[in-house]
Each structure stands twice: as C-alpha cells, then as structure tokens.
Chains A and B, each alone.
Chain A
Amino acid sequence: SAVISQKPSRDICQRGTSLTIQCQVDSQVTMMFWYRQQPGQSLTLIATANQGSEATYESGFVIDKFPISRPNLTFSTLTVSNMSPEDSSIYLCSVRSSYNEQFFGPGTRLTVL
C-alpha cells in the first residue's frame, strides 16, 4: 500500500481567500486524484492530477476554482480559490496502485467562515 500525507490537516479560512493543500506519496504513482467529502456525505471526485499535463476535471469542477499542480510522480497540490462557506469540506488526496487498488490520504478539513 501507499503512504500518503497531506498538509495542512485542517484549516479555518476567511471567505475570499485561497488555500493550497499539499499531497505527498512515499512512492511513485501514475494516477493521483483529488476528492471532496462534504459533511455526512460520500466522496466526490474533483479531478485527476496528471503528471506533466493539465488536470482532468469532473463535471461541476473548474480549473479556475480548483487549480491543481502535479510536478512529479510523488507530489501534487490542490488550491481552493476564492473560498466561500460552501467550500467547507474534507479534501482528500488519493492514489491508485499498479494493482488497481486505490488509497487515500488522511484528508484536509477546511472550514470557511
């Protein structure tokens, strides 16, 4: 299994500001993903972070709001831009192994006031 760390683990932010979340994996992985989990809800895929190219966003998510970087095979960042209270969620980084198993980081708990 992959060991995934995320920073920060939690944050409280003011509306209108931006937060960048970092994801570090202990091994090189091809497929890396960012998910959002709203309180009491299941997981929703935001985008697939592609190394060396632009991220692929799911319906309802746009690059201007959630810019993603993937500079190498072990690291990615997700920025939540121009935040509003509706962005309060858990943001989760995830990677897929060569055996098609998918692992998740511990999450970043974001509260927007």
Chain B
Amino acid sequence: GQQLNQSPQSMFIQEGEDVSMNCTSSSIFNTWLWYKQDPGEGPVLLIALYKAGELTSNGRLTAQFGITRKDSFLNISASIPSDVGIYFCAGQETSGSRLTFGEGTQLTVNP
C-alpha cells in the first residue's frame, strides 16, 4: 500500500523562527491535506491542496502540492507558542479513496 514519509519527526525552535516540514509518497496523490492536532483534541484541517504546483496560504501557514504529485510541504512563518502541536500530512490517491496519513511532526516552540 501507499507509504507517506513525514519529516522531521520533531522540531524544537525559538519563537519567531520559520518552520518547514514535508511529506513524500511512494504513490501519486490527487489531494494533499495538512492537519494540526493539539493535545487532547482531534486533528484540525489547516490547508487542502488539489493541483500539482498549487501554493496555498492560511495566515502564517503556506503549503505546496509538489510538481511530481508525490510530495507536499508546509511552512510556518514567524512561529508563536500556540503553534505547538503535532502536524500531520495526509494524501488521497483518487477522489473517494481513503486518506493515508504521515507519522506526524511534533513542533515545540520556545518562547
């Protein structure tokens, strides 16, 4: 089945720094989704990407759908303490198929 490699597994940064994380797939995806999960909560959808090369922003967050359709990137600019949490990527091969999730990136922001 599909495999999603998400990196890095964890990041420790200072407040104000920019953050970048990525996911790569063994398969071509039609859709990439990025989520954030706070402790004790369900994942919250941050950004959805539907076309190769698409670049989408949501506030300080920017995500890109890779040209090869096998990767995606999430960048967070000027990090703040509330950015702390686990970020998951998820990909979908075709419309209607199940999502495949990455293993998550644990982000810690030191004030």
Q: Which residues of A contact B (CB under 8 A)?
A: 1, 4, 31, 33, 41-43, 45, 48, 58, 92, 99-107, 109
Contact = CB atoms under 8 A, between A and B. Distances in A.
Given A100-B92, A102-B33, A42 B101 contact: yes
B41 A107 contact: yes
Contacts of A31: 96
Given A43-B88, A45-B98, A101 B42 contact: no
B104 to A, nearest CB: 6
A107 B48 CA distance: 21
Q: How large is the interface on B (under 10, 10 to 19, 20 to 34, 35 or more residues)?
A: 20 to 34
Nearest to B4: A42
A101 B48 contact: yes
A46 B8 CA distance: 26
B102 interface: yes
Given A42-B88, A43-B88, A102 B45 contact: yes
A27 to B, nearest CB: 15
A42 B88 CA distance: 8
A104 B31 contact: no
A41 B101 CA distance: 11
12 contacts: A4-B42, A42-B88, A43-B88, A102-B45, A102-B90, A102-B99, A104-B42, A104-B44, A104-B45, A106-B41, A106-B42, A107-B41
B15 interface: no
B95 interface: yes
A58 B41 CA distance: 24
B48 A42 contact: no
B43 interface: yes
Given A42-B88, A42-B102, A99 B41 contact: no
B42 A105 contact: yes
Contacts of B43: 43, 92, 104
Contacts of B44: 104
